[in-house]
């Protein structure tokens, strides 16, 4: 790393193609509407971010690595603007997560230390309703092979995905967020 501090920077623009007023941040922002009336494009200068279509890190989530997103709404088929964003810290340690079939860490349990593209194939597990992230930062996806809606998980206990606002959704694959992406 040559002693340099890793920087994180994302710039949001009101209009498509990086037009209109802009707002830039290098940390979490719970309410983008405080700075911009709308948001239709953005540029990730450095680092990785999760963006959300509702304030306070709620709603649909999207993973953004370094790059330009000139019109992300049509690219992803989003129905609403980005309303909040969360910076994903760089992490170089080990990864460990326990996934559970039922809420409150009930039912079958499996421990993951690497990516899993299909919990049904690997563990004969038809659903994952809670988890405990011990190490690392992860993305969970509603479909196998890292497709469909996603959810960002930092270290911590997640006793009920339903209580987090994901009732009726299944989580079928999990991937570590590494700087190798």
List the pLDDT tens digit at each of the 181 positions of the chain. Answer: 444 456 799 999 999 999 999 999 999 999 999 999 999 999 999 999 999 999 999 989 999 999 999 998 887 777 788 999 999 988 889 999 999 999 999 999 999 999 999 999 999 998 999 999 999 999 999 999 999 999 999 999 999 999 988 888 899 999 999 875 5
Q: What is the CATH number of the domain that holds 110?
A: 2.60.20.10
Task: Tell me whether residue 108 is in a domain.
Answer: yes
141 and 160 in a single domain? The answer is yes
The three state secondary structure string of the chain is CCCCCCCCEEEEEEEHHHEEEEEEECCCECCHHHCCCCCCEEEEEECEEEEEEECCCEEEEEEECCEEECCHHHHHCCCCCCCEEEEECCCCCCCEEEEEEEHHHEEEEEEECCCECCHHHHHCCCCCCEEEEEECCEEEEEECCCEEEEEEECCEEECCCCCCCCCCCCCCEEEECCCCC
Look at the chain and report how many structural domains it folds into. 2
> What range defines the domain where residue 75 resides?
9-88
């Amino acid at each position: 790393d040559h002693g340099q501090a890793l920087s994180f920077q994302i710039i949001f623009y009101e209009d498509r193609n990086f037009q209109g007023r802009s707002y830039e941040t290098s940390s979490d922002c719970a309410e983008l509407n405080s700075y911009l009336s709308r948001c239709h494009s953005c540029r990730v200068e450095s680092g990785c971010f999760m963006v959300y279509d509702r304030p306070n890190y709620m709603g649909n989530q999207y993973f953004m690595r370094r790059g330009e997103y000139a019109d992300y709404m049509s690219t992803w088929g989003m129905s609403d603007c980005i309303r909040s964003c969360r910076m994903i810290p760089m992490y170089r340690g080990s990864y460990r997560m326990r996934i559970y079939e039922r809420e409150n860490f009930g039912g079958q349990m499996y421990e993951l230390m690497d990516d899993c593209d299909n919990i049904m194939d690997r563990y004969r597990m038809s659903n994952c309703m809670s988890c405990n992230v011990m190490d690392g930062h992860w993305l969970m996806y509603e479909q196998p092979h890292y497709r469909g809606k996603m959810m960002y998980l930092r270290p911590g206990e997640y006793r009920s995905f339903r209580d987090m606002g994901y009732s009726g959704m299944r989580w079928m694959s999990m991937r570590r967020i590494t700087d190798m992406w």
